[in-house]
Amino acid sequence: MVVTTMTSLDEDRGKFAIIIKLAVVALYAFVSQSLVGFVAFFLLDELKNQIRLIMAVVTYMVTNLLVIKEHDTAHIIVGAIILAASLAIVLGIKLMLAKYEERKIADKNILMKSNISEMHEKRANRELLKQSYLAQKNARLMERENISRNIHNSVGHSITAAVMTLDAADMLYDVRPEDARKKMNEANERIRGSLESIRQAVRVLDSETDGITASDLKAAMKDIVKEFVMDTSIEIDELYQELPDEVNVSHEHSEFLTGVLMELLTNGVKHGAATYFKVVLKGDAGHIRLSVEDNGSSDYNAENSQLKLQQGFGLKKIVSYVQRCGGEATFANEDGFNAVVELPLIAE
């Protein structure tokens, strides 16, 4: 009871409380002269296990030797051994219980950490799925925006030209019927080409693949050349056979290459007054190469020739895209204008 009462002393008193406990327990052991009194030393939690056991045994032996004269030495030794063994058993049980509690706490902490880790992993997976979905959605929206812009630019131009051709046919119908019929046929071809462009755009939107085949790219370029010839009556030679039809080209590359073709054809007439073009498309599963050359007037020997090539807005955009994709673009302005654009084809 005394030891239990002393154990409830304020822990903040530190060493003073320990000294008081030791004094009270020692006095109780000396007065009681029983094993219970010496076992009390073992109940002092402030001391190490070995020190408590030694203090209890040593105090028992000293007390018996000094106070209890009638006990012989053998009897005292046997009592000390019994006391030490009893205390050792109690100490072992206490250590086992402490380890059991520690193991329970450790298992609980491991389980808690595992649950927390699993929760964080699930949250991270949900966040990754969300980001992936948003990225795919944004890419799809950008693709739709590009397609709608291309439809507006190409199909809008074709339909406008078809309307103007029909107006001309209407004015020529009573005067020159044959010319009027020719104009109507041209308008019909333009409208058919526009419908095909729209169908192709719809196929791209509905497609789950990451690109189009080379055959579709060739068809798009042929439509561009055909409309350009109808508008300008300029001769254009085309060579597409060196690019296999089964090669897959990304939507971004295909839109870029068709834009390059339109840009170079328009520039050749506008800046070089070209009357002849040669368009060559070649490549394989690893790369694609478009070259466009014309017979336009050349100012290669002029001082500002290379400066014009470097500062042209359309050419700047071409070079920027090609470099970003790891390709190569070269331009030459001697004996006409010659442009070569080569892009790598990397599987998505």
Helices and strands, counts by H and E, the chain: 11, 7
Residue 274 in 3-state DSSP? Answer: coil
DSSP class of 247: -
* 124: amino acid identity, one letter: A
Q: Which residue has better confidence, 341 or 140?
A: 341
Q: Are residues 343 and 224 in the same domain?
A: yes
Q: Are residues 215 and 346 in the same domain?
A: yes
Task: Work out how many domains the chain is built from and give that number.
Answer: 2
Residue that is last in its domain, among 66, 81, 112: 112
Is there a single domain that holds both residue 225 and residue 331?
A: yes
CATH code of residue 339: 3.30.565.10
Q: Compute the 3-state secondary structure of the chain and give helix, strand, coil in percent, each to the nearest 5.
A: 70, 10, 20
Q: Which of 94, 112, 130 is the last residue of a domain?
A: 112
Does the residue 132 lie in any domain? no
* Whole-angstrom distance, CA of residue 220 vs CA of residue 158: 13
Reported as type and span, the H/E element at residue 207 is: none
Residue 247 neighbours by CB distance under 10 Å: 19
Q: What is the rounded average pLDDT of the residues 112-135?
A: 83
Q: Does one domain contain both 216 and 348? A: yes
pTM, two decimals, is 0.50
> What is the structure's pLDDT at 110?
87
**For residue 307, what pLDDT is reported?**
44
Terminal-residue alpha carbon distance, the chain:
81
Residue 281 lies in a domain: yes
User: Is 43 domain-assigned?
Assistant: yes
Of 112, 134, 149, which closes a domain? 112
The pLDDT of residue 304: 45
Q: Spell out the alpha helix ranges (H) of 151-212.
A: 156-172, 177-206
pLDDT digits (tens, 9 = 90+) for 46-62: 556 667 677 777 777 77
Task: Say if residue 220 is in the same domain as residue 331.
Answer: yes
Q: How many Cα atoms are found within 13 Å in the side-chain-facing hemisphere of 294?
A: 26
343: Cβ contacts below 8 Å, ≥ 6 apart = 253, 256, 257, 287, 288, 289, 322, 325, 327
More confident residue, 283 or 38: 283
Q: Kindly state whether residues 85 and 218 are assigned to the same domain.
A: no
Confidence (pLDDT) at 284: 86
304, part of any domain: yes
Mean pLDDT throughout 245-272?
Answer: 86
- 290 near 261, Cβ under 8 Å? yes
**Domain coverage including residue 295:** 210-348
What value does the mean pLDDT of the chain take? 76
Residue 33: partners with Cβ closer than 8 Å, 6 or more residues away: 63, 64, 67, 68
The torsion region of residue 283 among left (phi > 0), alpha (psi -120 to 50) and beta comes to: left
